């Protein structure tokens, strides 16, 4: 009863109060980090929420700010410099387990579209990457974490130390196109970009195959800020739910592709990328995508691959997540639609 009353009041304040635009202009900026420069395509949900007016609809004064990697973004959340980041779940697990970082996940993206690819037709098997330079974002970044998972889970007998990680930020695809690298950890949209330039990408292993029950990305926030300004986080999450619904409606594909322009892709490539990502579970509109089984599986992977320090206890699922934000945001969206 009490929560329902609060949600009803939030709807009234966000959607129907006089002077709402003035209040929005004066409210504190809520900064969300988009990983990568340019941002990875998973960040499209942030740009859709911004450009389609969903943040404004719920009275949230949001700035979407690109960061070099999801790792640097997560550190900015931990230090209190920003309010939310889209960062690797494996990184969240290690940060909380190793240092009790004061952050939790409120929403997620379950499946990874990462693959270890080669542009050399003579080098298309796991054994061919032994000792070779492999393009990643940063040491310990999302692509680096994915590479560790793919090698240990998909290339028998191999480990991360068997290759030379080459950090190039978000420029793995350009490095492959230019011939500076022959191997790289890439997204599906990277593959489309590379092949549009006339180079074929050969898949050595996918992260989904190496760890089919894993968990890819989490929207992380500081616990104290969540406690002190909970209604703001609920409103931001409500806007993301509306953005997810917008993305998942096929008739909006052209608009979504246009909104996603900050990710650096052409409209055609962005439009072609949307459905394959939805098909593997991106941008859920009816679930927080913080599946307990998947995250607990990921905890095991992080521990087995050595990312949790000796003597440290792996963080439990309940410590890593707060499902109540999505629950209340979904109720806010439903009430706003009536």
| Domain spans, the chain | 2-110+214-336, 115-210
pLDDT of residue 14: 53
Name residues whose C-beta falls within 8 Å of residue 1's C-beta, 6 or more positions apart in sequence.
none
pLDDT tens for 7-46 read: 444 554 455 443 445 455 557 899 999 999 999 999 999 9
ω before 120 within 30° of 0 (cis)?
no
Neighbours of 70 (CB within 10 A): 31
Mean pLDDT by 10 residues, the chain (338 residues): 49 47 66 94 97 98 96 97 97 98 98 96 97 95 93 94 95 96 96 94 95 94 98 98 98 98 94 93 96 96 92 98 98 88
Name residues whose C-beta falls within 8 Å of residue 88's C-beta, 6 or more positions apart in sequence.
70, 71, 141, 142, 145, 216, 217, 218
pLDDT tens for 314-328 read: 999 999 999 999 999
Of the options 3.40.190.10, 3.30.360.10, 3.40.640.10, 3.30.70.890, the CATH number for the domain spanning 2-110+214-336: 3.40.190.10
pLDDT of residue 90: 94
The CATH fold assigned to 115-210 is D-Maltodextrin-Binding Protein; domain 2 (3.40.190)
pLDDT of residue 170: 86
pLDDT of residue 22: 45
What are the CA-CA distances from residue 275 to residues 11, 166, 279, 282 (Å)?
A: 31, 30, 6, 9
Q: Are 187 and 39 in contact (CB under 8 A)?
A: no
What is the model's pTM? 0.86
* DSSP per residue, 75-128: HHHHHTSSSEEEEEHHHHHHHHHHH--SEEEEEEE-----EEEES-TT--SGGG
Q: Are 216 and 289 in contact (CB under 8 A)?
A: no
One fold for both 2-110+214-336 and 115-210?
yes
pLDDT of residue 18: 37
Buried b / exposed e over 28-38, threshold 16 CB at 10 Å, is eebbbbbbbbb
- List alpha helices for 215-315, DSSP H: 223-228, 230-248, 253-259, 267-279, 292-304
pLDDT of residue 250: 96
């Amino acid at each position: 009863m009490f929560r329902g009353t609060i949600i009803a009041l939030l709807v009234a304040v966000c959607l129907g109060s006089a002077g709402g635009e003035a209040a929005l202009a004066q409210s504190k900026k809520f900064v969300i980090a988009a990983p990568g420069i340019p941002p990875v395509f998973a960040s499209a949900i942030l740009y859709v929420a911004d450009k389609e007016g969903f943040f404004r609809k719920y009275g949230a004064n949001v700035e979407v700010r690109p960061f070099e990697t999801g790792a640097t973004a997560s550190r900015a959340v931990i230090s209190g410099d920003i309010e939310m980041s889209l960062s690797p779940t494996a990184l969240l697990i290690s940060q909380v387990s190793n240092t009790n970082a004061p952050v939790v996940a409120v929403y997620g993206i379950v499946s990874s579209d990462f693959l270890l690819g080669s542009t050399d037709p003579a080098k298309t098997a796991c054994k061919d990457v032994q000792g070779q330079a492999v393009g990643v974002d940063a040491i310990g970044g999302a692509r680096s974490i994915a590479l560790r998972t793919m090698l240990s889970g998909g290339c028998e007998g191999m480990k991360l130390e068997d290759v030379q990680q080459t950090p190039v930020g978000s420029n793995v695809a350009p490095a492959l196109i230019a011939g500076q690298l022959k191997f790289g950890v890439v997204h599906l949209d990277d593959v489309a970009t590379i092949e549009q330039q006339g180079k074929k990408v050969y898949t050595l292993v996918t992260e989904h195959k190496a760890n089919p029950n894993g968990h890819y990305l989490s929207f992380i926030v500081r616990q104290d800020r969540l406690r002190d300004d909970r209604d703001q986080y609920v409103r931001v999450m409500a806007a993301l739910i509306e953005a997810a619904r917008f993305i998942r409606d096929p008739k909006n594909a052209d608009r979504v592709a246009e909104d996603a322009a900050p990710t650096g892709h052409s409209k055609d490539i962005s439009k072609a990328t949307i459905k394959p990502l939805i098909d593997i579970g991106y941008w859920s509109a009816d679930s927080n995508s913080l599946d307990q089984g998947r995250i607990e599986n990921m905890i095991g992977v992080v521990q087995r691959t050595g990312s949790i320090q000796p003597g440290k206890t792996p963080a439990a699922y309940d410590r890593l997540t707060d499902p109540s934000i999505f629950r209340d945001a979904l109720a806010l969206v439903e009430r706003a639609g009536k």
